[in-house]
Amino acid sequence: MELRPLERFGYWNKILHVDLTARSVSVEEPGDAFFRTYGGGRGLIGHYLLKHVPAGADPLGPNNVLVLAPGVLTGAPVPGAGRHSVGAKSPLNGGFGEAESGGFWGAELKRAGWDAIVVHGASATPVYLWINEGAVEFRDAAHLWGKVTGEVEEAIQAELGDPRIRVAQIGPAGENLVRFANVVNELNEVAGRTGMGAVMGSKKLKAIAVRGRTPVKLADQAALLAISKWVSSTVDQVHRGFHEYGTGGAMQGKSLEGGIPAFNYRNGSFEGTDKVDAIAIKDEVRVDMTACFACSVRCKKVVQIEMREEEAGVTRKGVKIAVDPKHRYRVDPKYGGPEYESLASLGTNLGVDDIVTVCKSNELCNALGMDTISAGSTIAWAMEAYEKGALTPEDTDGVKLEFRDGDAVVEMLGKIARREGIGDLLAEGSQRASEKLGLGSDAYLTTVKGMEMAMHDPRHMPVMRASYLLAPTGGDHMRQTSDKNGLRNQVGMCHFLAYDDDQMEQIINAVTGWGVDRAEMVATAHRGLTLARLFNMREGKTRADDRLPRRFFEDLPKHKGLTEEELAKIVTDYYIEQGWNPETGRPTRETIATLGLEADAAALV
């Protein structure tokens, strides 16, 4: 029996389908069971990719779909409930593409009365969507094409006459189909990984502007308020590290332990770590901290650097603004500041100890719309290729692509976004670049399923092994592979909130009124992961893709290299745990039936 709209909490039962080819929209009302089954986020992405993307489709062609999916919790006034996922077939890993973002855009979409957007086809000319609550408009974006994210957000808010409009967009990198281009919202929140920005660019969709004014309905407002109060009154005890530093406060510890990515994952320690970690950021260049929707942890850094003393001074809040001692760069605070992954991928892993270039590099990635992890790791690969002579100064247009040179990083990022010179090769991502280059350059790749691994070394951190081996997207560090952690990517909850299982259950029930129990939470996550697995297998991925690159079989000074045997055991154990065939990892008929995925799995043939 369908619930009447009055009894529906947390979601609206409205999916917006946009056909960019025909410039038309339609509304799907899939029903209450749908939302309870998939949760949102990864669950919806898996469902719609299997349903609408033909097997073998070109990720950059019109048959791919782009899914923007908050979760049932997104937009509820509780810390962490501000997340949304972006998914499609990935041009980087050739399979399941999914990236998650925070900020406000996802909550705004829910407040506009929508649970998700599915974008089909492709526009012939640059276009942006304007979603003003229930009204959806296609607007010409020719005047925005080629512009950086900061300019575009301002222009859209001005032309639509409302500074509170939230914008999710691609930068020039997405327009130029850089394979690791991202989708940026609020200029410092990004659906970073797997190249979702390139998919959006291939559809000539520049931006999605949203304005919503209807609060998400809650089943038990008092219960939710109690949890919000718990977070805000315990920040000092429970979330202190994130609240004071954001991420990146433990980098010196990683280096001390010999496990920080350095020089393309070779050294394990880096003497300049204390110059580019979150503590240095706070001490030298940070001017503010900002928060996502409804969150009191407030873990997002804002940095500002001016080129000269005369231009610096103090901020409105009385904070002294930093100056580049070498007078090279300005870093605009509207682009936020570098999180841990960026501090490592644009800093320690490149041997760079220059906090100014690290901040500038992060700003450029946000302005141009590129994933800092893949961009930084592709540059790391290129630097090792240059070091070993596989790339020459002639190849790099005269740029000395050497470790420790932060200015070269800044220059490369611009070239990559514009596909200029060597940037055209690097824009393909390190794996494809290596296939083109040859010369043994595959020996120093750090990719899994074509996507560069993030900045946690699996030789140092055993928990990362399963993450990188088995994440549906490839070199993903978010340890989503367990049925426990996986849920957050479906319901739209941030991983940095230290809610235990009891609290997650309380939150889900306070928002939706569903009365879920632990078993159902586990099953929902299991379903999302199994859907992703089904999609990957349909696109030709096999157990052979659940492996780590050769670099991680090499010893670090303080940690031994991994072995095939230990990794094979992790993979097999995981398949068994997930109810997939222990040899091939194919979800069994029983598991598909238990999870109620027969209809989705029928799309496999």
Find out whether 412 and 430 touch, Cβ atoms under 8 Å: no
How far is 477 from 77, CA to CA, in rounded Å?
28
Q: Smallest gap, in angstroms, from Cβ of residue 495 to other proteins? A: 7
List the one residue out of 166, 124, 161, 116 whose CA is nearest residue 141. 124
For 498, 504, 593, the CA distances from 485, given in Å and listed in that order, are: 12, 11, 22
Q: Smallest gap, in angstroms, from Cβ of residue 188 to other proteins? A: 15
Q: Smallest gap, in angstroms, from Cβ of residue 296 to other proteins? A: 15
Question: Chain centroid to CA 202: how far?
Answer: 19
Find out whether 42 and 490 touch, Cβ atoms under 8 Å: yes
Classify strands 189-191 and 205-211 as parallel, antiparallel or unpaired. unpaired
Cβ proximity to other proteins: between 155 and 238 the closer is 238
Q: Smallest gap, in angstroms, from Cβ of residue 319 to other proteins? A: 17
Find out whether 25 and 17 touch, Cβ atoms under 8 Å: yes
Cβ proximity to other proteins: between 129 and 497 the closer is 497
The encoded tokens of residue 450 equal: 């074509």
Cβ proximity to other proteins: between 230 and 514 the closer is 230
**H or E element at residue 322:** strand 322-323
Q: Smallest gap, in angstroms, from Cβ of residue 339 to other proteins? A: 7
Q: Smallest gap, in angstroms, from Cβ of residue 251 to other proteins? A: 8
Find out whether 66 and 197 touch, Cβ atoms under 8 Å: no
Cβ proximity to other proteins: between 358 and 412 the closer is 358
The SS3 assignment for 444 reads: helix
Cβ proximity to other proteins: between 328 and 558 the closer is 558
Going 353 to 354 to 356 to 359, the CA torsion angle's sign is negative
Cβ proximity to other proteins: between 155 and 250 the closer is 250
b or e along 375-385 (b: 16 or more beta carbons within 10 Å of the residue's beta carbon)?
Answer: bbbbbbbbbbb
Chain contacts with other proteins (rule: CB under 8 A)? 236-242, 244-245, 247-250, 252-254, 256-259, 278-279, 339-341, 454, 460-461, 463, 477-478, 495-496, 558
Q: Smallest gap, in angstroms, from Cβ of residue 525 to other proteins? A: 18
Cβ proximity to other proteins: between 448 and 510 the closer is 448
Cβ proximity to other proteins: between 53 and 448 the closer is 448
How far is 458 from 282, CA to CA, in rounded Å?
28
Name, in order, each residue with C-beta under 8 angstroms of 576's C-beta and a sequence gap of 6 or more.
582
List the one residue out of 333, 353, 417 whose CA is nearest residue 379. 417
Cβ proximity to other proteins: between 255 and 591 the closer is 255
Which residues, listed in sequence order, are joined to residue 25 by a DSSP beta bridge? 18
Residue with tokens 């008929």: 589
Q: Smallest gap, in angstroms, from Cβ of residue 253 to other proteins? A: 2
Q: Smallest gap, in angstroms, from Cβ of residue 227 to other proteins? A: 19
Cβ proximity to other proteins: between 70 and 102 the closer is 102
* CA angle 300–306–308, rounded 5-degree value: 160
Q: Smallest gap, in angstroms, from Cβ of residue 240 to other proteins? A: 4
* CA angle 533–181–193, rounded 5-degree value: 35
